[in-house]
Amino acid sequence: MTARVLLAVTLLAFCAANAVGGPRENALTALRDAADVEARRRGARMLADSGIMADLPVLAHALRDPDSTVRGFAEAAMWSVWSRSGDDEIDKLFHVGVMQLSDRRLVPAVRTFTRIIERRPDFAEGWNKRATAYFLLGELDKSLADCDEVIKRNPYHWGALSGYGMIHMQESRPGQALAYFEKAIAVNPNLSQVHETIEMLKALLIQRRKDMI
């Protein structure tokens, strides 16, 4: 094979390899397709497996899609993206911690998530899960501090924003709780229970104002 032919074959192979993007790029393109609801559904579903933190703005936009299935897939994809650290060993340890949390083995869960945080402090979901364990243990100041760390790393985390609200409710600060629940809804308007809590808090605050007159 001559050098010229070899060069041509190499160029053809390169073009073929780059003619179509990878799974993540294809998913993002599909999710941005304003006209094709099936494409948007497919894109959101694919990003559950291939998405990365840089894709959160696109997924957050999809939380306002006119199609409820797209919104549901986008929400699930965001949780999936949040739960991947990029390190297989950390992900295995994270799974252990999630199981401990699910089984209400809260003290071991705190220890597991602390190990994760020490090894991967940039992994926001490690902080979020430890915040949840602290909340369930009644250690609200520690939970609040961990929520701060989550939001520093992932401002789209409506779970942590709702967590702030729950902590402030526990501490009898309905005004602050309302503010954080509204921030959670601003990110993800599909949180029906948070909408209900917001209405309850608004009614409570109105009644308090009336009582003060």
The answer to whether the CB of 130 falls within 8 A of the CB of 113 is yes
pLDDT tier, 21 (very low <50, low <70, confident <90, very high otherwise): low
Residue 158, token pair as written in the block: 């409506």
Residue 91, token pair as written in the block: 């992900």
Could you give the CA distance from residue 203 to residue 212 in angstroms, rounded to a whole number?
A: 14
Task: Give yes or no for residue 60 having a pLDDT over 90.
Answer: yes
Query: pLDDT tens digits, residue range 167-197?
Result: 999 999 999 999 999 999 999 999 999 999 9
Q: What is the pTM of this model?
A: 0.86
Give the mean model confidence (pLDDT) for residues 74-90: 97
- To which residue do tokens 């993002």 refer? 28
pLDDT reported for residue 209: 84
The full set of domains in the chain, from first to last, is 3-82 (1.25.10.10), 86-144 (1.25.40.10), 155-213 (no CATH)
